[in-house]
């Protein structure tokens, strides 16, 4: 699976078609979704990197990856797609996003929840992670991207 290059962050749940400035599915900005196929590889990499940093930040606050090799093997064995050169915390997200309802022991995947989240169900945790990731992406948009668009409209 990791040698199959994932070409876009799209997860098939686009909300930008309904007017959202930040997609609730992939967390890209509206203009990034619309213009993705026209972007250079450098621009695409910068979008991927921003998404990786924000998601890893959310994940590291909730769990610890204590065995990256085990996590990778488990993802490959279960044919869960992941971006091999991203943070192991992004890998852990893919695991939880795809397996929240069936995973019994997260430790068997090389991952352990931090103490304050150990009483949470994985579907509950997955939904909280997704909300927080969306809120961070939205805040990033408001802080760094929206002002640039407004300046462009004034000129």
Length of the chain: 155
What is the pLDDT of the chain when averaged over all its residues?
Answer: 91
Q: Output phi, psi for 56, to 5 deg.
A: -60, -35
Distance CA 73, CA 44 (A): 27
> So where are the chain's domains?
16-154
Q: Average pLDDT for residues 33-37, to the nearest whole number?
A: 93
For residue 35, is pLDDT > 80? yes
66-88: pLDDT as tens digits: 999 999 999 999 999 999 999 99
pLDDT score at 3: 47
Distance CA 83, CA 48 (A): 10
pLDDT score at 102: 95
Closest CA to 100 of 121, 72, 117, 114: 121
Which residues contact residue 75 at a Cβ distance below 8 angstroms, ignoring those fewer than 6 apart? Answer: 1, 2, 82, 91, 94, 95
Query: pTM of the entire structure?
Result: 0.89
């Amino acid at each position: 699976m990791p040698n199959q290059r994932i070409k876009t962050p799209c997860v098939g749940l686009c909300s930008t078609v309904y007017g959202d400035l930040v997609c609730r599915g992939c967390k890209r900005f509206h203009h990034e979704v619309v213009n993705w196929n026209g972007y250079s590889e450098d621009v695409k990499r910068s979008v991927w990197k921003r998404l990786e940093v924000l998601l890893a930040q959310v994940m590291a606050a909730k769990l610890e990856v204590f065995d990256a090799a085990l996590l990778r093997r488990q993802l490959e064995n279960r044919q869960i797609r992941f971006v091999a050169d991203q943070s192991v915390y992004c890998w852990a997200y893919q695991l939880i996003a795809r397996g929240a309802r069936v995973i019994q022991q997260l430790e068997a995947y090389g991952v352990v929840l931090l103490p304050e989240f150990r009483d949470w169900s994985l579907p509950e945790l997955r939904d909280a992670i997704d909300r927080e990731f969306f809120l961070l992406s939205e805040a990033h948009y408001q802080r760094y991207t929206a002002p640039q668009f407004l300046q462009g409209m004034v000129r």
